[in-house]
Structure 1
Amino acid sequence: MNQVPLVFLGLVAAVAGSFYGAIFLPHHAVGRAELEYVDDTGAYYPAPRNGLAQQGAEVYRAQGCVECHTQQVRPKTLGSDVARGWGRRRTIAQDYAQDNPVQLGSLRLGPDLTNVGKRQPSSLSNLRHLYNPRLVVKESYMPRYEYLFFKRKLEANEKPSLNALPADTEAGYEVTPKPQALALVAYLQSLSADVPLFSAPLPVAVTNQVKAPSLTQKP
C-alpha cells in the first residue's frame, strides 16, 4: 500500500501545528492581554485608543507600513534603540494589550515607531511627511502617499482652504487630507510606550549629587 499521501498529510499537519503553536497563538494572545493598573499614573495601561486611531491602525496595516517599520524597542543589551531615542525602556507584551492584530514588524527600512507619538506629536508635520517625506526629512526614501490626499490646482489669487496643508507643500495647489490620512496620523500619535511598568521600569537618572546625611543619623 502506498503510504506517501499519509506521510505527506502528516508532514503538513506537523508544520501547521508548529506554526499555530509557536507563532499564531502567542501573537494572538499578546494582543488580548488584560490592561494593567499603573500606580505612577493612576490609570490603566495601555489606554484604549479612540475610534479614529483604531481606524488608523487598519490604514497602517492596509498601506503595508509594518513592512518597513517596527514597533518594538530592544533592550540596551541587544541594540541601540534606547540610545537612538526610540524609547526610554524596552517593550514587553503588556505594551500591546488590546492590539489586534499586533503590528510588531520585522524589518527596519525606517525608524521604529513604538513611541513616534511622543517624538513627533505634530499632526501637520505627520501629514506633510505622508504626502511627501522629503519635505520633512530630505534624505528619506519613504514612498509618497499622495493618494491619501485631495489635490486641486488653485485659480489665480485663490487661497487654499483652512484645512489644507501649507502652501509650500505643493506650490500652486491645494492639498487636503482624506479621512484615511487623518485616521493614520491619529494612530501614529497614539503610539507611546514609555509608561513605567513593574516588568519594564524606566531607567533611573544618574546624577553626581551626594546624598545629604540624615539629621537623625548618629556618629
Structure 2
Amino acid sequence: MKNGLALFFGAFAVLALSTGAVLYSAHKQLGSLTQYKDPVEETLYPAPLTGLADQGRAVYQDLGCVSCHTQQVRRDGFGGDTTRQWGTRQSVARDYIREKTVFLGSSRIGPDLRNVAARAYADEAYLYTILYAPHAVAPGTNMPSYDFLFDVHPIRPGQASPHALKLTGKAAPAPGYEVVPTHRARALVAYLRSLNDAYEYPEAKPFVADAKKEEGK
C-alpha cells in the first residue's frame, strides 16, 4: 500500500490524457468544420435557422420530440434509411454545424425527421393535422395528439380564420367551431418545414474504391 498514492495518480493521469486525446482529436476533426461554399452558386451551406423556424426548434426541444424521432440518415449498408426515403444521402457532420442544439436522437418510435420537408406529402396541412389529430392522416400511429398547440373556438360571423385546419370525420370540430394553430404550432411546423438536407457535400458522396488499387493488391 506504500505505492497506493502513486498508482492512483498514475491511473488518473492515464485516464485524463486518454480522455483529452479523444476530445482533442474530435475537436480537430469536427470543430474546425465551416460552411461549404458552392463553387458555382457561391452560396454557403448549410444556412442557419432564422425567424419562426428557429423558434420552432425550441418548441421541438421543449416537447421532447427527440425521444421518438431521430435526425440522422444512415448511409447504405448501415440501415435502410434511404430505401425508406428518409433522405437521398447519408447525414454528415457538416449538416449540423449551424444548429444551436443537435437532435440526433437514438430511438425511432416514429420516422426519422431529418428530411421531412423533402417528402411530398408532408406539407403544412399534413403536419398541422398529424400534430392535432394523428390518426386522421396516419391510422394506427402511436403518436400522441398535441392538441394543446391549437385553439378551438366558435367561428365569429364573417370572421373565420384563414389558418383554420380543414378537418373531416372524427377529427372535425363541432359545428360552428374551428381549430386554429397557435404561435407555437406555427413555429414548430416552420421548423419541420426547414428540415431538408438537399445539398450534397463532397464528404457525403458514397465511397468508391479505386479499381486500379484493388487490382494491384
Q: Which residue of 2 aligns with 1:81?
A: 81
Say which SS state the counterpart of residue 79 (structure 1) adopts: coil
Please say if 1:48 is aligned against 2:51: no
The answer (yes or no) to whether the contact 2:71–2:103 under 8 Å persists in 1 is yes
CA distance in 2, matches of 1:72, 1:37: 22
How far apart, in 2, do the equivalents of 1:125 and 1:177 lie?
A: 13
Rounded Cα–Cα distance in structure 2 between residues aligned with 1:190 and 1:153: 32
Partner of 1:144: 145
**1:16 Cα shift?**
10
SS of match in other structure, 2:178: strand
- Residue 192 of structure 2 aligns to a residue whose secondary structure is helix
Q: Does residue 176 of the first structure (1) align with residue 180 of the second (2)?
A: yes
* Distance of aligned partners of 1:115 and 1:19 in 2 relative to their CA distance in 1, 3 Å threshold: farther
- 1:108 matched to 2:112? The reply is no
User: Residues 59 and 31 from structure 1, CA distance in 2 versus in 1: closer, same or farther, beyond 3 angstroms?
Assistant: farther
Which range moved further: 124-133 or 59-68? 124-133
Are 2:128 and 2:189, in contact at CA under 8 Å, matched by a contact in 1?
Answer: yes
Counterpart residue type for residue 70 of structure 2: T
Q: Is the 8 A contact 1:115 1:192 kept in 2?
A: yes
How far the C-alpha of 1:98 sits from its partner, in A, is 1.1
Distance in 1 between residues matched to 2:186 and 2:19, nearest whole Å: 36
User: Structure 1: how far apart are the matches of 2:164 and 2:140?
Assistant: 25
Q: Which moved more, 1:171-180 or 1:14-23?
A: 14-23
In the superposition, the TM-score normalised over structure 1's length comes to 0.75
Q: Contact 1:33 / 1:97 at 8 angstroms: preserved in 2?
A: yes
1:140-159 residue CA offsets vs partner (Å, 9 max, x unmatched):
1101000001112458x988
Q: Which amino acid aligns with 1:199?
A: E
Aligned to 1:208: none
Distance 1:15 1:189, change over 3 A: farther
String of CA shifts for 1:151-207, please: whole Å, max 9, x gaps: 12458x98842221114233433110010000000000000112111101379xxxx
Check the 8 A contact 2:47/2:98 in 1, yes or no.
no
Q: Percent identity?
A: 39
Structure-2 residue corresponding to 1:130? 131
Whether contact under 8 Å (1:56, 1:184) holds in the other structure is yes
Q: Which runs of 5+ in 2 are unaligned?
A: 1-6, 208-217
Which range is displaced more, 163-172 or 67-76?
A: 163-172
Match of 2:213 in 1: none
State the superposition RMSD in angstroms.
Answer: 3.7
Q: Contact conserved, 2:48 with 2:99, CA < 8 A, in 1?
A: no
> What residue number does 1:66 align with?
66
The answer as to whether partners of 2:66 and 2:104 remain within 8 angstroms in 1 is: yes
Post-superposition offset of 1:22: 6.2
Structure 1: tracts of 5 or more residues without a match: 1-6, 204-219
- In structure 2, relative to structure 1, the CA distance for the partners of 1:154 and 1:43 (3 Å cut) is same
